[in-house]
């Protein structure tokens, strides 16, 4: 038996305008089957609050009426008014909460935008996500809603986590990654650091040898920086990690990407 | 899926086919030919395809999904081309649809919509019908022509007056329009009827079925099942037969290939129709995924007759730019948020197949519209274009041929629509960028010359609190008052208690009284009363001004600061701003504080309405103050921004109240459902949570739900009253200021309709009437009695009301 009007369901689900009837409607067609899936869907990112939910379906359901968006990859210099101007183009804004550096209390490149309606939030995912604000491509994602404390960066230095380990130079987000800057401020420089023109405080190289490094210092916060020297124009820096004493960081030379270890546990590759 | 799998997977196949035909209207030829080939191998499968496609059409008609109906009918045409559907049954269907057009009982909107369906399908199927049943085609064409002719005679082909993009009466120098402005049905019939010259075979369409004709003709076609067309009900809604904006008409699109910047088929040709309709269909269908949209637009030429469009040097990208702008500038409102069109336009520039053509085409389109805006472009469209372009430019580093405008900006007066457009564009760009990026790095340096700068460069303050009248740079000369004001700011910042703040108020009052008393003594011998009533009034008004400005100084740092300070000082607000006069004064203080920050003024007004500190009435009074409008000839966009924002806020409040009622009623219904299932059973809520059935006495939750319904309904009533009051007031004010202006200019022997003042103020009244049509139309009768009473009001205002009433009466989605 052909199900009448199923095509409408497929497209309506894909467009994010139609919710499957209920949990009992197990025959609902997943959006991935639609000819063109909608952009008005949350991303696959799960934040720490996901732990409250037993499964993805619950998480999705919690987001299904959300009026709040997380906005990322903003410049540190983007003002609340600029955010307001762009995001109010798809609906009335209830409030904007600028993300702040936990230590400095200055904008650190993200914000939450809360609308009056869920439809406005979806329209934002469809039309604003991936476009530019202040000449940077911004990323938006549905959010469960703002809670006090979430306005602060969760990185070790107070900003966003992604700015900790970033190894490129991004003028809109405070230059190099925080770890790299911290290292630079300490006046310690990795091998080949003298090739940098733009970063102050980097003295001559005190370590010999390129590639892998094993470094250990007990009792204090320690940064190990490692670099693959290439030509002046495209210096690729691989920077690692702050560790809290007592643990040896082992960095293997596997091309530009390295295994980083924090407290002996592998973090990322 | 191989055709052998069909018996096991027929549902999946049919669903996919239906979804694809409705999602990719430019590939119908392929799907039709594929169905034809299936018909050769498996006749019963093809029969199911026919049944499914016919069902898609009738479903779309039943649900009022006119876009899907149009695509489904075109697909039925393609099925006839591929010999899957019999031509006679298709022709019968088209005639059945035309029966609705000629039906005596059908409303004009319904007749137009059904005629539109048939006209839209003709390029896809006319050639086949002509080949097999020429008499049928002749009859179809004759019946459509008859309908179109009768519309022309009734003057309906010009479309609703309120929805025309260009208004001839506003044209400067009496110049006419470069093209004839007609409504959508008339426009598409002018294009599609050109098929007669191409022997009814649309040259631009790719016809894959022709390559398989020898195979396809071996199978026998199926008859379409009978399709029920549901009768019209009062709830049936039709898309508006808007008056489409043409940008690249034949005078722009000259066809001289070596020099022209735009290369498209002539305006009234079937090929132009096919380009534009496919792109506009894609814009509607793929609005939910702009990535897929631009990929489909870029791939569009592959599904058209390549030899044809390449031979003529036609550029599909030019059509895409025109259609995106046309849809964005549609009246009364674009189908999607304006942001969607900005993103769609940006995507054309990000697509490597289109980028080289998109830039010049957009440049040409905007310049054409800009130059033609003097020919009477609706003021709303000029503003919308500025907003759209600003978002677009912000995505592309504000690269634009700004220099091209320099000479005209020097020459044109500051209140002309062209200068105002540039001013709004710069303002909108500035809101998205930072000042130096635009003013120092982007705009031509000679725009800083006095004669251009005063016209287009908005004045900006470095910091938000520079409007602080009692600050070091403020215009108040009373040093003691400044001291007290600074003290107040510090008290607010340091969260001093209400008594301390009231103490400062008393000090200010004391100071003002003393000062006024001193001045009065100097001027005249005063009778010696200890208190003078007008001085008290003055002292109170100074206190209000100082307090309002102090709050702004503290709150202007960010919107969170604003929320905090307003919340904290709520009691003081309620004490100080009780009368209408006081609230009007607050609005004046606000406008003065943010006079160079229109965006913040808009946001603050919205916020202060929410906190019930500022009344809607006070904002309306400020926005439509005759003095300001006369001073700027109505060309200053700030009051209009504020007015629109306020009215949107009022509408939003009403819709929120509606939602609250709906939620509360749902909850009551759900409680009832739990009662119905009783003990031992359970029900699920909409989130899938399980709830036990209810028995026994009424629970507190149920009582609370009932109370919530009652409260929410009361709120809706209140909001409806408030909304009605706001719209009544705004229209009354418009009528009052326009009437006053008419009588003022009648003494001076000036044709008011040719003044910039008229263009802006009268134009904005039309815009408000159009934009808030759904709200205003609910009490149009009251308006007719109270505001637009025949005989009391000038005929030109009544003419505008007539336009708006006709728009409200039309059954538009």
Q: A72 φ, ψ to 5°?
A: -120, 175
pLDDT for B731 beyond 90: yes
Partner-chain residue, chosen from B18, B288, B600, that has the shortest CB–CB distance to A38: B288
Flag the least confident range among A40-44, B81-85, B284-288, B455-459. A40-44
Confidence at residue B594, expressed as pLDDT on a 0 to 100 scale:
87
Confidence at residue A181, expressed as pLDDT on a 0 to 100 scale:
62
Q: Does B740 touch chain A (CB under 8 A)?
A: no
Confidence at residue B21, expressed as pLDDT on a 0 to 100 scale:
94
Nearest CA in chain B to A115: B652
Inter-chain residue contact B599 with A81, CB threshold 8 Å: yes
Confidence at residue B312, expressed as pLDDT on a 0 to 100 scale:
77
CA distance B543 to chain A (A): 29
Is residue A153 within 8 Å of A159, Cβ to Cβ? Answer: yes
Confidence at residue B461, expressed as pLDDT on a 0 to 100 scale:
62
Which helix or strand (DSSP H or E) is residue A241 part of? strand A236-244
Per-residue model confidence as pLDDT tens digits over B571-626: 888 888 888 888 888 998 899 888 888 888 998 898 888 888 889 999 999 999 99
Q: Does B460 touch chain A (CB under 8 A)?
A: no
Across the range B44-60, mean pLDDT stands at 94
Give the Å distances, CA to CA, from A95 to A111, A146, A246, B267, B548: 11, 10, 45, 47, 22
Partner-chain residue, chosen from A23, A84, A123, that has the shortest CB–CB distance to B603: A84
Quick one: pLDDT band at residue A219, thresholds 50, 70, 90? very low
Give chain B's domains with CATH numbers.
1-137+207-217 (1.25.40.180), 283-451 (1.25.40.180), 464-574 (no CATH), 647-811 (no CATH)
Q: What is the DSSP string of A165-223?
A: S--S-BGGGTBS-HHHHHHHHTT---TTGGG-SS-TT--S--S-SSS--EE--TTSEEE
Flag the least confident range among A235-239, B144-148, B561-565, B726-730. A235-239
Q: Tell me the average pLDDT of chain A.
A: 64
- Chain B residues with CB inside 8 Å of A14's CB? 288
Give the Å distances, CA to CA, from B247 to B153, B264, B355, B481: 27, 11, 20, 58
Is residue B263 within 8 Å of B315, Cβ to Cβ? Answer: yes
Q: What number of CA atoms fall less than 13 Å from residue B82's CA on the CB side?
A: 26
Confidence at residue A177, expressed as pLDDT on a 0 to 100 scale:
75
pLDDT for B374 beyond 50: yes
| Spatial distance between the Cα atoms of B278 and B304, rounded to a whole number of angstroms | 10
| Spatial distance between the Cα atoms of B194 and B188, rounded to a whole number of angstroms | 10
Q: Where are the domains of chain A?
A: 53-188, 216-263
pLDDT for B55 beyond 80: yes
Q: Are strands B690-692 and B682-684 parallel, antiparallel or unpaired?
A: antiparallel
Which pairs from B104-112 meet CB under 8 Å and 24+ separation?
A: B105/B232, B106/B232, B107/B232, B107/B811, B108/B156, B109/B238, B109/B241, B109/B810, B109/B811, B109/B812, B110/B232, B110/B236, B110/B238, B111/B147, B112/B151, B112/B185, B112/B238, B112/B241
Q: Does A46 touch chain B (CB under 8 A)?
A: no
Confidence at residue B729, expressed as pLDDT on a 0 to 100 scale:
95
Cis peptide before B332 (omega within 30 of 0): yes
| Torsion on CA atoms B557, B561, B563, B564, rounded to nearest 10 | -150
Q: Which one of A21, A76, A81, A137 would you mutate to disrupt binding with B, by most B Cβ within 10 Å of its Cβ?
A: A81
Per-residue model confidence as pLDDT tens digits over A7-28: 333 343 344 333 333 333 333 3
Q: Which one of A6, A8, A18 would you mutate to disrupt binding with B, by most B Cβ within 10 Å of its Cβ?
A: A8
Could you tell me the two tokens for B132?
Answer: 């097999």
Inter-chain residue contact A86 with B291, CB threshold 8 Å: no
Confidence at residue B532, expressed as pLDDT on a 0 to 100 scale:
46
- Chain B residues with CB inside 8 Å of A96's CB? 559
Q: B18 φ, ψ to 5°?
A: -65, -40
Could you tell me the two tokens for B435?
Answer: 């000042």
Q: Does A36 touch chain B (CB under 8 A)?
A: yes
Is residue B811 within 8 Å of B238, Cβ to Cβ? Answer: yes
Confidence at residue B640, expressed as pLDDT on a 0 to 100 scale:
92
CA distance B293 to chain A (A): 9
Q: Does A107 touch chain B (CB under 8 A)?
A: no
Inter-chain residue contact B558 with A80, CB threshold 8 Å: yes
Confidence at residue A8, expressed as pLDDT on a 0 to 100 scale:
35
| Spatial distance between the Cα atoms of B274 and B268, rounded to a whole number of angstroms | 11
| Spatial distance between the Cα atoms of B785 and B732, rounded to a whole number of angstroms | 12
The residue length of chain B stands at: 813
Confidence at residue B763, expressed as pLDDT on a 0 to 100 scale:
93
Interface of A with B in 49-88 (CB under 8 A): 61, 77, 79-82, 84-86
| CA dihedral over B336, B337, B341, B347, signed as positive or negative | negative
| Spatial distance between the Cα atoms of B161 and B182, rounded to a whole number of angstroms | 10
Flag the least confident range among A43-47, B35-39, B65-69. A43-47
Confidence at residue B260, expressed as pLDDT on a 0 to 100 scale:
55
Partner-chain residue, chosen from B20, B432, B648, that has the shortest CB–CB distance to A35: B20
Q: What is the DSSP letter of B202?
A: -
Q: Which residue has the higher pLDDT, B46 or A249?
A: B46
- Say how many Å lie between the first and final Cα of chain B, rounded: 40
Tell me chain B's radius of gyration from C-alpha atoms.
Answer: 32
- Say how many Å lie between the first and final Cα of chain A, rounded: 50
- Chain B residues with CB inside 8 Å of A86's CB? 391, 432
Q: What is the DSSP string of B737-794?
A: HHHHHHHHHHHHT--GGGSHHHHHHHHHHHHHHHHTHHHHGGGHHHHHHHTS-TTTS-
Could you tell me the two tokens for B65?
Answer: 């999904």
Confidence at residue A32, expressed as pLDDT on a 0 to 100 scale:
44
Q: A170 φ, ψ to 5°?
A: -130, 105
- Chain B residues with CB inside 8 Å of A131's CB? 342-343, 346, 395
Inter-chain residue contact A92 with B648, CB threshold 8 Å: yes
Confidence at residue B569, expressed as pLDDT on a 0 to 100 scale:
84
Partner-chain residue, chosen from A4, A15, A131, that has the shortest CB–CB distance to B395: A131
Number of Cβ atoms within 10 Å of the Cβ of A268: 11
**Burial tier of B253 (Cβ tally within 10 Å: 0-12, 13-18, 19+):** buried
Inter-chain residue contact A40 with B288, CB threshold 8 Å: yes
Quick one: pLDDT band at residue A269, thresholds 50, 70, 90? very low
Across the range A56-69, mean pLDDT stands at 84
Quick one: pLDDT band at residue B568, thresholds 50, 70, 90? confident
CA distance B502 to chain A (A): 30
pLDDT for A114 beyond 50: yes
Inter-chain residue contact A4 with B292, CB threshold 8 Å: no
Number of Cβ atoms within 10 Å of the Cβ of B392: 21
| Spatial distance between the Cα atoms of B599 and B604, rounded to a whole number of angstroms | 9
Confidence at residue B330, expressed as pLDDT on a 0 to 100 scale:
94
- Chain A residues with CB inside 8 Å of B649's CB? 92
pLDDT for B4 beyond 80: no
Interface of B with A in 8-47 (CB under 8 A): 10-11, 14-16, 18-20, 22-24
Quick one: pLDDT band at residue B256, thresholds 50, 70, 90? low
- Chain A residues with CB inside 8 Å of B59's CB? 4-5, 8
| Spatial distance between the Cα atoms of B701 and B674, rounded to a whole number of angstroms | 12
Q: What number of CA atoms fall less than 13 Å from residue B684's CA on the CB side?
A: 9
Inter-chain residue contact A89 with B343, CB threshold 8 Å: no
Quick one: pLDDT band at residue A244, thresholds 50, 70, 90? very low
Q: Which residue has the higher pLDDT, A158 or B141?
A: B141
Is residue B27 within 8 Å of B20, Cβ to Cβ? Answer: yes
pLDDT for A225 beyond 60: no
Inter-chain residue contact A81 with B391, CB threshold 8 Å: no
CA distance A39 to chain B (A): 5
**Burial tier of B428 (Cβ tally within 10 Å: 0-12, 13-18, 19+):** buried
Per-residue model confidence as pLDDT tens digits over B281-327: 999 999 999 999 999 999 998 899 877 777 778 888 999 999 999 99
Per-residue model confidence as pLDDT tens digits over A154-203: 888 888 888 887 777 888 887 777 666 666 555 554 443 333 333 322 32
| Spatial distance between the Cα atoms of B704 and B694, rounded to a whole number of angstroms | 16
Give the Å distances, CA to CA, from B677 to B682, B693, B700: 7, 5, 19
pLDDT for B416 beyond 70: yes
Residue % of chain A over a pLDDT of 70: 51
CA distance B740 to chain A (A): 35
- Chain A residues with CB inside 8 Å of B670's CB? none
Give the Å distances, CA to CA, from A22 to A1, A25, A27, A180, B320: 22, 5, 10, 50, 40
Closest CA to B397 of B439, B341, B437: B437
Q: Which residue has the higher pLDDT, A124 or B376?
A: A124
Which helix or strand (DSSP H or E) is residue A95 part of? strand A93-100
The label of the residue with tokens 């990719």 reads B24
CA distance B20 to chain A (A): 6
CATH topology of domain A53-188: Alpha-Beta Plaits (3.30.70)
Confidence at residue B444, expressed as pLDDT on a 0 to 100 scale:
94
CA distance A179 to chain B (A): 29
Could you tell me the two tokens for B261?
Answer: 């910047």
Q: Which one of B282, B339, B558 would you mutate to disrupt binding with A, by most A Cβ within 10 Å of its Cβ?
A: B339
Number of Cβ atoms within 10 Å of the Cβ of A212: 12
Number of Cβ atoms within 10 Å of the Cβ of A168: 12
Q: What is the pTM of this model?
A: 0.86
Confidence at residue B93, expressed as pLDDT on a 0 to 100 scale:
97
3-state secondary structure of A266: strand
Interface of A with B in 1-30 (CB under 8 A): 1-8, 10-11, 14-16, 22-24, 29
Inter-chain residue contact B433 with A134, CB threshold 8 Å: yes
Cis peptide before B571 (omega within 30 of 0): no
Per-residue model confidence as pLDDT tens digits over B768-813: 999 999 999 999 999 998 888 877 789 999 999 999 999 998 856 4
């Amino acid at each position: 038996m052909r199900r009448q009007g199923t095509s409408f369901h497929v497209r309506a689900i894909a467009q994010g305008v139609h919710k499957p009837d209920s949990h009992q409607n197990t025959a609902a067609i997943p959006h991935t089957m639609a000819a063109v899936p909608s952009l008005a869907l949350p991303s696959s990112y799960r934040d720490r609050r996901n732990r409250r939910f037993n499964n993805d379906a619950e998480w999705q359901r919690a987001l299904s009426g959300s009026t709040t968006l997380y906005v990322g990859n903003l410049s540190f210099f983007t003002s609340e008014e600029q955010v307001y101007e762009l995001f109010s183009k798809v609906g009335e804004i209830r409030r904007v909460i600028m993300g702040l550096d936990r230590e400095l209390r200055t904008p650190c490149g993200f914000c939450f935008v809360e609308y009056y309606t869920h439809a406005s939030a979806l329209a934002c995912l469809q039309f604003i996500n991936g476009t530019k604000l202040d000449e940077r491509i911004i990323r938006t994602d549905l959010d469960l809603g703002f809670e006090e404390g979430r306005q602060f960066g969760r990185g070790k230095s107070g900003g966003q986590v992604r700015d900790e380990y970033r190894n490129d130079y991004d003028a809109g987000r405070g230059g190099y990654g925080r770890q790299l800057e911290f290292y630079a401020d300490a006046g310690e420089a990795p091998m080949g650091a003298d090739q940098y023109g733009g970063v102050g405080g980097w003295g001559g190289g005190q370590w010999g040898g390129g590639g892998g490094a094993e470094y250990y210092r007990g009792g204090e916060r320690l940064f190990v920086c490692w670099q693959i020297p290439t030509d002046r124009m495209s210096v690729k820096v691989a920077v690692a990690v702050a560790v809290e004493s007592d643990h040896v960081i082992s960095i293997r030379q596997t091309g530009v990407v390295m295994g980083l270890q924090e407290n002996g546990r592998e973090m990322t590759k | 899926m191989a055709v052998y799998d069909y018996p096991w997977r027929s549902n999946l196949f049919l669903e996919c086919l239906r979804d694809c035909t409705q999602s990719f209207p430019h590939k119908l030829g392929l799907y039709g030919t594929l169905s034809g080939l299936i018909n050769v191998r498996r006749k019963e499968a093809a029969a199911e395809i026919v049944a499914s496609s016919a069902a898609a059409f009738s479903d779309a008609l039943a649900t009022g999904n006119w876009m899907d109906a149009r695509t489904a009918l075109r697909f039925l045409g393609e099925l006839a081309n591929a010999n899957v559907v019999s031509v006679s049954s298709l022709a019968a269907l088209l005639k059945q649809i035309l029966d609705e057009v000629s039906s005596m009982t059908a409303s004009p909107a319904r007749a137009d919509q059904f005629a539109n369906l048939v006209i839209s399908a003709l390029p896809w199927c006319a050639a086949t019908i002509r080949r097999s049943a020429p008499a049928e085609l002749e009859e179809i064409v004759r019946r459509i022509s008859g309908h179109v002719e009768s519309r022309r005679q009734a003057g309906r082909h010009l479309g609703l007056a309120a929805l025309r993009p260009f208004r001839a009466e506003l044209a400067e120098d009496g110049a006419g329009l470069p093209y004839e402005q007609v409504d959508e049905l008339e426009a598409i019939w002018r294009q599609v009827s050109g098929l007669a010259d191409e022997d009814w075979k649309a040259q631009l369409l790719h016809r894959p079925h022709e390559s398989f004709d020898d195979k396809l003709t071996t199978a026998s076609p199926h008859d379409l099942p009978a399709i029920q067309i549901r009768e019209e009900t009062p709830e049936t809604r039709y898309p508006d037969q808007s008056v489409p904006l043409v940008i690249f008409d034949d005078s722009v699109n000259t066809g001289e290939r070596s020099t022209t910047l735009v290369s498209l088929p002539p305006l009234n040709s079937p090929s132009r129709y096919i380009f534009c309709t496919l792109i506009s269909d894609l814009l509607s269908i793929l609005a939910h995924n702009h990535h897929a949209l631009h990929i489909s637009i870029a791939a569009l030429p592959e599904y058209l007759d390549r030899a044809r469009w390449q031979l003529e040097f036609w550029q599909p990208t030019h059509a895409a730019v025109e259609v995106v702008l046309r849809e964005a500038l549609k009246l009364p409102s674009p189908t999607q948020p304006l942001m969607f069109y900005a993103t769609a336009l940006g995507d054309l520039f990000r697509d490597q197949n289109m980028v080289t053509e998109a830039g010049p085409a957009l440049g040409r389109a905007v310049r054409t519209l800009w130059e033609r805006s003097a020919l009477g472009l609706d003021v709303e469209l000029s503003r919308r274009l500025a907003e759209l372009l600003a978002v677009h430019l912000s995505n592309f580093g504000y690269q634009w041929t700004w220099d091209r405008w320099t000479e005209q900006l020097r020459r044109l007066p500051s209140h002309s629509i062209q200068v105002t457009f540039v001013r709004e564009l710069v303002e909108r760009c500035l809101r998205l960028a930072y000042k130096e990026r635009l003013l120092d790095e982007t705009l031509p340096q000679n725009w800083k010359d006095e004669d251009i700068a005063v016209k287009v460069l908005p004045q900006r303050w470095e910091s938000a609190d520079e409007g602080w009248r009692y600050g070091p740079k403020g215009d108040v000369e009373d040093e003691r008052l400044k001291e007290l004001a600074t003290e107040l700011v510090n008290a607010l910042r340091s969260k001093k208690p209400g008594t301390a703040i009231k103490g400062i108020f008393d000090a200010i009052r004391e100071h003002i009284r003393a000062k006024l008393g001193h001045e009065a003594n100097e001027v005249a011998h005063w009778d010696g009363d200890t208190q003078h009533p007008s001085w008290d009034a003055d002292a109170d008004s100074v206190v209000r001004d100082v307090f309002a400005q102090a709050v702004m100084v503290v709150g202007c740092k960010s919107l969170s600061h604003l929320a905090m300070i307003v919340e904290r000082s709520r009691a003081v607000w309620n004490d100080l701003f009780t009368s209408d006069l006081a609230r009007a004064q607050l609005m004046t203080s606000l406008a003065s504080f943010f006079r160079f920050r229109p965006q913040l003024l808009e946001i603050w007004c919205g916020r202060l309405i929410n906190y019930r500190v500022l009344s809607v009435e006070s904002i309306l009074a400020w926005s439509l103050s005759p003095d300001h409008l006369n001073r700027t000839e109505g060309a200053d966009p700030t009051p209009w921004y504020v007015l629109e924002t306020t009215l949107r806020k009022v509408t939003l409040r009403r819709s929120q109240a509606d939602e609250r009622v709906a939620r509360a009623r749902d909850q009551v219904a759900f409680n009832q459902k739990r009662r119905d299932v009783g003990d031992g059973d359970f029900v699920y809520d909409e989130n899938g949570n399980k709830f036990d059935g209810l028995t026994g006495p009424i629970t507190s939750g149920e009582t609370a739900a009932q109370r919530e319904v009652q409260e929410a309904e009361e709120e809706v009533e209140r909001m409806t009253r408030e909304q009605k009051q706001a719209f009544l007031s705004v229209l009354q004010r418009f009528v009052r200021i326009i009437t006053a202006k008419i009588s003022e200019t009648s003494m001076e022997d000036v044709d008011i309709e040719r003044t910039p003042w008229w263009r802006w103020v009268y134009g904005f009244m039309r815009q408000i009437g159009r934009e808030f049509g759904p709200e205003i139309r609910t009490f149009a009768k009251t308006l007719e009695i109270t505001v637009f009473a025949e005989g009391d009001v000038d005929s030109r205002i009544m003419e505008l009301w007539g336009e708006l009433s006709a728009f409200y009466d039309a059954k538009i989605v």
